[in-house]
Amino acid sequence: MRDFHNLSLKCIKGQPINDVVCRTLAEIGFPADAPPEPQETNSGYCKFWKKLSDTKYYVCGRIETEYIELLLKTKSREESFSIMLDRLSFYDITSYDLTIDLKYGCVFDITAEDAETLLDEFIYIIKVLLPSQLSDIYYSFDIEPNPAYAVFYEIAVKRLGLERYTNISQNNYHQFVSHVQDGIKERILRGETLYSIYRNTCATKEIIKKTFLEITDTQNNIGRIEVALFSLSKKYSYKPNISLSEDVSTFDFVVYENGIPVIAIDYWGEEYFNLEGNPYINETYDDMIELEQDKDKVCYNKNITHLQIDLRELDKGMCVGSLIRNILKNPSVAERHRIERREYFSFARATDDCEFNRTSFETATICGCFECCNLISPKDIVEWDYEETAICPVCGNCSIITDSQGYNLTEEFLKKINIMYSYSLPVK
């Protein structure tokens, strides 16, 4: 595929239509273009169409397409014109008629050389801008419609051998079957963000999201965060792996509101937690926060909210989108979120950890029940719920956690969990 540099394509998705100024291909930086559409009407043009009614040529763009195909083959305007005239002589079409038609179709003045370049341009447009149909180019980028563009678009589709939907009664008629998704997939695999694909192609947010979810693992938490950011409203954008200061490491994502950074997000993935899901570094959530102090400071100085999203909350199905939307409305939500996560890692996670925890008893030296608040020896656990969840030999509840799950178990600690747990129970 021929590459075109120095293009100044401008995505107009979501812009109010009154602000949009249409540009021709030449104005965008493409080397060849079709002449503009004639403004004046010509009565000869109507007569020409009358002569062709009920024939196979009574189809918009058909003659122009055949003519351009001839021009690409013969590389001669005169020869192409005379072959075309010959084909139409049966219908009483004169040289004058054909000239008018080709002029109205904006292809008459195109040289053989320009025709070749225009074809390359449309191959590039289809492959890079990923339209599902011609009008997508007009709607997504500020390109002015021109009848010759439809001609070159159709020839380019044919050359590329792209499959299209053929059921005329369906909404997707004449759209590409898989070209757009294939193009999005390729861009994602090259590491491009969903937002960048949205800004640089004709693809809609829906199809980009759908394609992304098709090719990514549901366990891909960083991907889930990105989808949430991508789904925010138009005034927000985001970039991955952004450095806000030379002194601190990069943030996984920075969210921008009208181009100004507002939230810096870090994902605390598996490298932050051990197999039981406890913070690795010096064992407490506060220690982990402490290590992030420099990043906090940078964010504070720049008036940016610093948010950590951890693997355990994502695994539990937390909705990243609503958390981020709430923070955008009220930045103090991030601080509250941090307090909640600290409480979770200190106490509340026990309510998750007491379930399906049989393997942790293999290495446990002590366990405890946060219902009756007794410390119990692992060998005293003899009953299991569904073979997987320990049942307390004292009170009969499934509320047992072990030291091998990262807890420093004392009766006092169990009582603290008990109080937290009782508070968090739904009010009946």
Cβ-based nearer residue to Zn ion, 188 or 417 = 417
Joined tokens for residue 103: 């002029």
Nearer to Zn ion, 25 or 392 (CB): 392
**Considering the complex, what minimum distance in angstroms separates the CB of residue 381 from Zn ion?**
11
Shortest Cβ 344–Zn ion spacing (Å): 22
Nearer to Zn ion, 368 or 406 (CB): 368
Residue 240: phi and psi, rounded to 5, are -90, 160
**Cβ-based nearer residue to Zn ion, 202 or 392:** 392
Q: Would you say 266 or 371 has its CB closer to Zn ion?
A: 371
Taking CB under 5 A as the binding criterion, the range among 92-100, 114-122, 232-240, 370-378 that sits at the site for Zn ion is: 370-378
Nearer CB in complex with Zn ion: 369/381: 369
Q: How far is the CB of 380 from Zn ion (least distance, A)?
A: 11
Q: Give the residue carrying structure tokens 């979120």.
A: 337
Q: Indicate the residue among 126 and 401 with the shorter CB distance to Zn ion.
A: 401
Q: How far is the CB of 396 from Zn ion (least distance, A)?
A: 7
Closest approach of Zn ion to the CB of residue 397, in Å = 5
**Binders of Zn ion: how many residues, by CB under 5 A?**
6
Question: According to the binding rule CB under 5 A, does residue 372 interact with Zn ion?
Answer: yes
Pairing of strands 367-369, 400-402: antiparallel
Instruction: Output phi, psi for 57, to 5 deg.
Output: -90, 0
Q: Name the amino acid, one letter, at 271.
A: E
Give every CB contact of residue 309 below 8 A, 6+ residues apart in sequence: 221, 225, 265, 266, 267, 268, 318, 320, 323
389, 356 in Cβ contact below 8 A? yes
Q: Which segment (62-70, 219-227, 372-380, 381-389) binds Zn ion by CB under 5 A?
A: 372-380
Any idea which residue has 């030379």 for tokens? Answer: 246
Give the x/- contact pattern for Zn ion in 349-368, rule: CB under 5 A.
--------------------
Q: How far is the CB of 374 from Zn ion (least distance, A)?
A: 6
Q: What minimum distance in Å lies between the beta carbon of 223 and Zn ion?
A: 40
Q: How far is the CB of 349 from Zn ion (least distance, A)?
A: 18
Q: Which is closer to Zn ion, CB of 138 or CB of 421?
A: 421
Q: 189 phi and psi, to 5 degrees? A: -65, -25
Beta bridge partners of 375: 368
**Binding residues among 165-204 for Zn ion as defined by CB under 5 A:** none
Q: Contact, 222 vs 252, CB < 8 A?
A: yes
Residue-wise DSSP of 342-355: HHIIIIITHHHHTS
Whether residue 162 contacts residue 126, with contact meaning beta carbons closer than 8 Å, is answered with yes
Site for Zn ion in 318-347 (CB under 5 A): none
DSSP conformation class of 249? P
CB 209 within 8 A of CB 203: no
Q: For residue 377, give the DSSP letter.
A: -
* Residue 313 vs 371, nearer CB to Zn ion: 371
387 to 406, contacts with Zn ion by CB under 5 A? Answer: 392, 394-395
Question: In the bound complex, what is the minimum distance in angstroms from residue 301's beta carbon to Zn ion?
Answer: 49
Q: Say if strands 251-257 and 260-268 run parallel, antiparallel, or are unpaired.
A: antiparallel
Structure tokens at 412: 């006092």
CB of 368 to Zn ion, least distance (A): 9
Residue 349: CB partners within 8 Å, gap ≥ 6?
277, 312
Chosen residue from 151, 345, 371, 407 binding Zn ion by CB under 5 A: 371
- Binding piece for Zn ion, criterion CB under 5 A, among 36-44, 117-125, 126-134, 384-392: 384-392
The residue within the footprint of Zn ion, chosen from 369, 401, 414, 417 (CB under 5 A), is 369
Q: Which residues contact 141 (CB under 8 A, 6 or more apart)?
A: 9, 10, 11, 12, 28, 129, 202
331 Cβ contact list (under 8 Å, min separation 6): 305
Toward Zn ion, which CB reaches closer, 340 or 383? 383
Residues in contact with Zn ion by the rule CB under 5 A: 369, 371-372, 392, 394-395
